[in-house]
Structure 1
Amino acid sequence: MDCHNTQHVLSPDSRFKFLLMGNPNVGKSVIFSKLTGLNALAANYPGTTVSYTMGTVKFKGETATLIDVPGTYSLDVTSEAEKIAQDFLNQGANAIIFVLDATNLERNLNLALQVLEYKIPTVFVLNMLDVADRKGISIKVDLLEELLGAPVIPQIAVLGQGLNQLLSTSWSVAKDSSQEVIKFSQKDDKWQIAADITKKVQKKTNTSNTLGFMEALDDLTVKPWPGLPITMGLLLLAMGFVVGGGKALRGGILLPLFNGYFVPFVERIVGNILSLNFIQNSIGSIVDINIIQNVLVGEFGVLIKGVEWPITLVLPYVFLFYIVLSFLEDSGLLPRLGILVDGVMKKMGLQGGNLIPVFLGYGCAVPAILGTRASTSMKERKIIATIVALSVPCISQTGAFISLLGNHSFFLVIFMILLSFIVMFITGNILTRIIPGKIDPIILEVPNLLKPNGKTLVRKVWIRIKNFIVEAELPMILAILFAAVVFEFGLLNRLGDVMQPLVVTWLGLPKEASLLLILGIIRRELAVLPMMEMGLSTVQLMVGATVAMFYMPCIAVFGVLAQEFKFKFALFIALLTTSVAFLLGGLVNHFANLLSLIGII
């Protein structure tokens, strides 16, 4: 998409182009989502890795293109995001919707004054008024309008308040370009002007002695004590919620429904169809009907395992994890955790803010790798991408681990988590020494601590769950179909013979475990779930889980690595992860056998 030409970023039926601008974390994305709904398209700006979002807005029969410009703190062009914001302003627009955070007005006004220099009709949105009220901050909206020479719309974006007034005002200023904006010289100190305006329009009544619960928690969660214990306690609570709640959903609802109703129903339907004379005479003359039945509903039956594995065994954990992730994002706790673990992250050559893409990797490695675009250097991006691909299990993989190991021994689940953290720390420590380049310090924006909006959280979780089902189900069905064919036609023994030195001798797993290494390339959880059918010992479970934890990235992750860092780097990651998986798996096997020989286990 060529964004250097105004016509190219306009929808075909759009008459107007609006730019949505502001500092990071002021609520722009929420406003964009409320105005455009799902009718939006994300794209990279040409020649950069910074993305922006474009959508269409309709009001009284007219359509406008709304562009969510990357959030910046200034237009000094010291970063890609600032250059892109300046480019969009130079291209021109019918109007600018500029979002102000009512709790950080002075800082926001500094950028607003720079934007007003472009003399594009502007509407200001004064957002987060609920948070400002909580903090004892009141804003004289009429006086702010007068001083800026532009409309100011009070709004609480997460509740959708003020949207109609915003649309009406935006259309009005777009049609009437005679707006009289604030007059000042380019030599004027905009920080001083912003401070003067803020002093005139803002009144703060709260004092440190009258802070409410949220304000007190806001302050406490950015300090090592007691912020770190509070946040770690919340994460442990979240882990218990995901693991315990997932097991309850799986064992109490999904598995009884699946085994009691779905399996008998599918087996009966398949049996009835395959018993028809037409099927027996036509297909039965080519392929043994029993083989077809086994491929469909047998040990690796695609109609059974294609539902059981992704929906019954994995989905409960995915669903609850996305609730936790969305809550941490919307509440502002995740950036705070980044500040608190900054010291540990620096040992890995990373800034504390990079905890966010790493944490996203526990949902899925794809958005985590894409999230590295916000990092300050290519070195930093490569370190994050490598540790995510190597030692951060995605949520579907984690759900598979819990399903496999949880009922057998919770110690094994803890062992896998600790092992992944140790490998992550060692890998980051090594990579920061061998990858050339430097890592520049970054300023991590800490948003206000907020109570997540229920409707917004539900919508976000639903979108993520829907994407998981769409993205996971088809590849898993194809992989299970492949496994069923390999199993039924006797190809598994041949595969096992070829891979016996690695799988049996080094890893101590049965020959049929060779199939896991093939399936894991398609979806990483498929290197875990089939182990449930193999009757493995405790040591074999530890070995198999270790290999599956650090095994090569699945096809989707490999594709994103190649897209973001070129094919050579993606191939390096695949070779590194596979080597580490086999090395650690073999070491666990032989070490466990040694302990067994001397009678420790």
Structure 2
Amino acid sequence: MGCHSVINNISNTEKEEIRILLIGNPNVGKSVIFSKLTGMQVMISNYPGTTVDYSQGKIKHLGKTGIITDVPGIYSLEATSSAEEVAIKFLEEGRPDVIICVLDATFLERSINLAFQVMEYEIPVVFVLNLLDIADSKGIKIDIKSLETELGAPVISTIATRNIGIKEVLQKTWELGQNDYYARREEGLSKEEIWDKSKAIVKKVHLNSVESRVSKLDKFSDLCINFYTGLPIAIVVLLFCLAIVVGGGKALRTLILLPILNNWYVPLISKLIESIISEGIILNILIGEYGMLIKGVEWPFALILPYVALFYGVLSVLEDTGYLPHLGVIVDGILRRIGIQGSSIVPFIMGYGCAIPAILGSRVATSQKERLIISTLVTLAVPCIAQTGAFIALLGNHSMLAIIFVYLISFCFILLGGIVLNKMLDGFVNPMLLEIPYLLVPNAQALLKKIWFRVRSFMIEAELPMVLAVGIAALVAETGLLNSVGVLIQPLVVQWLGLPAEASIALILGIVRREMAVLPLLQLNLSTLQMVVGSVVALFYLPCLSVFGILVKEFSIKVAIQISIFTIFTAILVGGIINQSVSLINALLH
């Protein structure tokens, strides 16, 4: 069967707005190209399946507007997954004016197979041959002109992370998108024939004069996915990351941020407010014990921000190097015991930043049961980075063993909760099918852009609720409502948990933001046991309002309420058991 292309000219009428569809395999650099073309700060991850939703952006070029849609990475157009269904929906219902199909220079045969399926839709196509730098490092050379002839459509070579070829892609896209030109392929090829044709093309366009090379990163990648070498590597990597976040965050907080706050900001703002407002409830709400202008700045910026910034820096490096899928292979055996695949290590790690992207990231799971397990465990026992900062601020100067104890409890309940949920919930968990991308040296510009975007998003989303929570704390404290609430829940807080009645405010504020269940404890003179109990209660405490909203959106109001009740019950039960057990032991010893 022949497969020669015939160019069809349907219309020469220029369009005012060009609709562009960006399509390609996972890990081929689509999101990078999308970001470069639109200038949008899109999250870019070197991990299969992270782009579950489609993204849209605008392009201004030559006085005209283009609407570009980036669909999830796919391997075929057979509608066997949700990602493929999204891509087909845009091809059939959206009918773009031009398609940018990104090809992987390191796995060209697989990309060409998808290219043939794309061309069947008779829409103008610009092929982008990306990752040429990685291909070159492996000794892979490709004859671009020959590939263009075989596909019967323009092929632009790019190294997207370095902006190489991006302008050419834009120009060619505009050229084809202005008029209805398309490359018509002969129909009737079976799946096997398409694969055979793809193999034949790869043989033609691959230049054999260059010997294949195995880089040091490739050798290290092999070590990372071998269990016996990968496990110790994973432990070292995670401990190193933990040291950077905890040690670096504490250093930034102690040496820079707190001195600036205490020596400059607090005296200045206090003097300013006192000169404007006389003594009274308003003054106390603004600069008192829970002053919005004091604690509303100290807690998010001086106590939490250092850990947030360093965590997102570490996470971005792990993503952009491609290490996370390697880690998924190593932990698959452990995670499968709690009902999820090793590839779901990514949502878990994202949960240590914030539960919201972790719950959204659970969409990559292959079953509803797995999604529920991931979302429940992240909500229950995975502390977000803001909580981590609060734990370190509360416990760090008193006992590092206490911090380790809290996180040990977290880890145990992740395993225990997963085992219980795996047995309780109906459904199945598929075997792990995970593409392992090459280990890469991250692009510095893209990496810094991603870190800044994440930190900025956190501050926008967290700052206002945190300041609001501080305001509520000040109001409750100044109006005497705290005493009323304390009387109502005194048997629970004082007698069962062993905390002072003033700790009730932490339980109230924890509804707004999870870390706010910890930070008010800094104002109290607590023993080490009380700090640990308060931290454990805050660890398991109900999801904050934004997380609750995401649970409702992703599942249902019923599921969100059930998870919330489960977390509150666990928080009070475990915190009380720790307090009562230690108190009993102390009583027996004395």
Fold in common (TM above 0.5)? yes
TM superposition shift of 1:85: 1.4
Tell me the amino acid that sits aligned with residue 199 of structure 1.
K
Q: Residues of 1 paired with 2:281 and 2:486: CA distance? A: 21
Q: 1:247 to 1:206 in 2, by over 3 A?
A: farther
Q: Residues of 2 paired with 1:325 and 1:39: CA distance? A: 17
1:415-464: per-residue Cα shift (whole Å, max 9, x none)?
11111010001111111111111222342122221111111111111111
Tell me the amino acid that sits aligned with residue 508 of structure 1.
G
Q: 1:176 to 1:557 in 2, by over 3 A?
A: same
Tell me the amino acid that sits aligned with residue 37 of structure 1.
G
Structure 1 position 470 matched with structure 2 position 499 = no
1:319-358: per-residue Cα shift (whole Å, max 9, x none)?
0000001111111011111111000010001111111111
TM superposition shift of 1:481: 0.9
Structure 1 position 29 matched with structure 2 position 19 = no
CA contact (8 A) 1:306 1:476 kept: yes
**Aligned 1:407-556 pairs, distance under 5 A:** 407-556=397-546
Tell me the amino acid that sits aligned with residue 366 of structure 2.
T
Tell me the amino acid that sits aligned with residue 141 of structure 2.
S
Tell me the amino acid that sits aligned with residue 363 of structure 2.
R
Structure 1 position 192 matched with structure 2 position 182 = no
1:171-193: per-residue Cα shift (whole Å, max 9, x none)?
12223444445546323621111
TM superposition shift of 1:86: 1.6
- 2:80 maps to which residue? 78
Q: Residues of 2 paired with 1:145 and 1:497: CA distance? A: 78
- 1:214 maps to which residue? 217
Q: Residues of 2 paired with 1:464 and 1:40: CA distance? A: 10
Structure 1 position 269 matched with structure 2 position 272 = yes
Q: Which has the higher contact order (CA 8 A, sep 6+)?
A: 2
Secondary structure of 2:448's counterpart equals: helix
Percent pairwise identity: 50
1:4-58: per-residue Cα shift (whole Å, max 9, x none)?
xxxxxxxxx952111100011111111111111228899xxxxxx9521111112
Secondary structure of 2:589's counterpart equals: coil
- 1:244 maps to which residue? 247
- 1:65 maps to which residue? 67
Q: Residues of 1 paired with 2:145 and 2:294: CA distance? A: 64
Supply the RMSD in Å over aligned alpha carbons.
Answer: 1.9
Tell me the amino acid that sits aligned with residue 320 of structure 1.
L
Q: Residues of 2 paired with 1:399 and 1:133: CA distance? A: 43
1:113-161: per-residue Cα shift (whole Å, max 9, x none)?
1111112111111111111111111111111111111111111111111
- 1:15 maps to which residue? 17
- 1:286 maps to which residue? none
CA contact (8 A) 1:358 1:384 kept: yes
**Aligned 1:188-337 pairs, distance under 5 A:** 189-203=193-207, 211-275=214-278, 289-337=279-327
Q: Residues of 2 paired with 1:355 and 1:205: CA distance? A: 41
- 1:170 maps to which residue? 173
- 1:38 maps to which residue? 40
Tell me the amino acid that sits aligned with residue 105 of structure 1.
L
Q: Residues of 1 paired with 2:325 and 2:471: CA distance? A: 42
Secondary structure of 1:436's counterpart equals: coil
CA contact (8 A) 1:40 1:56 kept: no
Which of 566, 569, 576 does residue 586 from structure 1 map onto? 576
Q: Residues of 2 paired with 1:298 and 1:50: CA distance? A: 46
Secondary structure of 1:302's counterpart equals: coil
Secondary structure of 1:99's counterpart equals: strand
Q: 1:39 to 1:181 in 2, by over 3 A?
A: farther
CA contact (8 A) 1:267 1:297 kept: yes
Q: Residues of 2 paired with 1:396 and 1:90: CA distance? A: 44
TM superposition shift of 1:366: 0.6
Q: Residues of 1 paired with 2:466 and 2:209: CA distance? A: 58
CA contact (8 A) 1:348 1:429 kept: yes
Q: Residues of 2 paired with 1:262 and 1:39: CA distance? A: 32
Q: Residues of 1 paired with 2:106 and 2:239: CA distance? A: 31
CA contact (8 A) 1:331 1:452 kept: yes
Q: Residues of 2 paired with 1:157 and 1:40: CA distance? A: 14
Which of 84, 91, 101 does residue 98 from structure 1 map onto? 101
Tell me the amino acid that sits aligned with residue 549 of structure 1.
L
**Aligned 1:132-143 pairs, distance under 5 A:** 132-143=135-146
> More deviation in 444-453 or 297-306?
444-453
Secondary structure of 2:59's counterpart equals: strand
- 1:380 maps to which residue? 370
- 2:338 maps to which residue? 348
- 2:562 maps to which residue? 572
Secondary structure of 2:511's counterpart equals: helix
Tell me the amino acid that sits aligned with residue 172 of structure 1.
E
TM-score by length of 2: 0.93
Secondary structure of 1:438's counterpart equals: coil
CA contact (8 A) 1:135 1:206 kept: no
1:66-114: per-residue Cα shift (whole Å, max 9, x none)?
1112211111111222122122222322111001111111111111111
TM superposition shift of 1:591: 1.5
Tell me the amino acid that sits aligned with residue 17 of structure 2.
R
Report the count of equivalent residues.
568
Q: 1:39 to 1:545 in 2, by over 3 A?
A: closer
- Stretches of structure 2 lacking an aligned partner (at least 5 in a row): 1-14, 45-50
- 1:10 maps to which residue? none
